Structure 1
């Protein structure tokens, strides 16, 4: 094991800077927690909530109906955005049923 020694004054300055850094991070987290970020849902959860298939969900993303965020290869949706389009999906479902009945 390698031992490194530093002056007490240097250690105290490092500790002070680290404490300041922690306070800044806590302030940022506190400010952003008040923005109503809410719960995030993945593809499977959204498909279940809207009773749609993954391809339909992709269409909603592609045409801009449903906003999303992507982290690496995983896609997430804000719960509020999903709730907002429930009526849109229901109306399209009713239109499709009506078209099928008139044919």
Structure 2
């Protein structure tokens, strides 16, 4: 089996390709998080809530929602607003 010799130029090219791949991955990941509408499962995962707690937030009017064909959607801006309004600064 023949040996391949790796030069510093090869390593530099590999590093540049790897960094570009990471940039693209991070960019696509961050754009995925900026969805306008989230389903219940996404909200529960994002906020680490149980289905019952999420239902309580809906029933009490704490978290507005839209229901289309049996699927409940939440506006990402409403979730961010709720988190900011519920913020407690202990100073």
Q: Does 1:46 align with 2:40?
A: no
For residues 69 and 86 of structure 1, the distance between their equivalents in structure 2, rounded to whole angstroms, comes to 19
User: Which of these residues, 40, 54, 59, is aligned with residue 57 of structure 1?
Assistant: 54
Q: Does 1:68 align with 2:60?
A: no
Which runs of 5 or more residues in structure 2 are unaligned?
Answer: 1-34
Would you tell me which structure has more helix in proportion to its own residues?
Answer: 1
Aligned residues: 53
- Shift of residue 85, structure 1, vs aligned partner: 1.5
Mapped contact 1:42–1:77 kept (Cα < 8 A): yes
User: Which of these residues, 78, 81, 100, is aligned with residue 75 of structure 2?
Assistant: 78
Query: Based on CA coordinates, which of the two structures has the bigger radius of gyration?
Result: 1
SS of 1:77's partner is strand
TM-score, length-scaled by structure 1: 0.47
For residues 78 and 64 of structure 2, the distance between their equivalents in structure 1, rounded to whole angstroms, comes to 7
- Shift of residue 72, structure 1, vs aligned partner: 1.1
Give structure 1 regions of 4+ aligned residues with deviation exceeding 6 angstroms: none
- Shift of residue 86, structure 1, vs aligned partner: 2.1
Which runs of 5 or more residues in structure 1 are unaligned?
Answer: 1-37, 92-103
Indicate the RMSD between aligned Cα atoms, in angstroms: 1.7
